[in-house]
Amino acid sequence: MVGGFGFKPQPINDYLALTIIGTAIFIVLIGVLQLRQDDRLSEKFFVDLTKMVLEQLPLISNIIKQFQGNK
């Protein structure tokens, strides 16, 4: 008997997966902002880290790439 008691594994809801990923990236972004507020992070590294974090979000990443391509 495959599946034990007849339970079928349910696929993870796409919205749930996106929410988990987005939350993780948001927490990292909050950490970067806190480091900048505490003056533990220089302005250049703040911009670089913020850009790297935002590039992890697909929609924002596409907007950034389009903006950079227009230069």
pLDDT tens for the 71 residues of the chain, in order? 444 555 555 566 667 777 777 788 788 889 888 988 998 888 888 888 878 877 777 766 776 677 777 65
Query: How many Å separate Cα 32 from the centre of its chain?
Result: 13
Phi and psi torsions of 12, nearest 5°? -65, 130
Rounded distance between C-alpha atoms, residue 45 and residue 60, angstroms? 19
pTM: 0.55
Looking up tokens 């950490």 gives: 31
Burial of 43 (0-12, 13-18, 19+ CB in 10 A): exposed
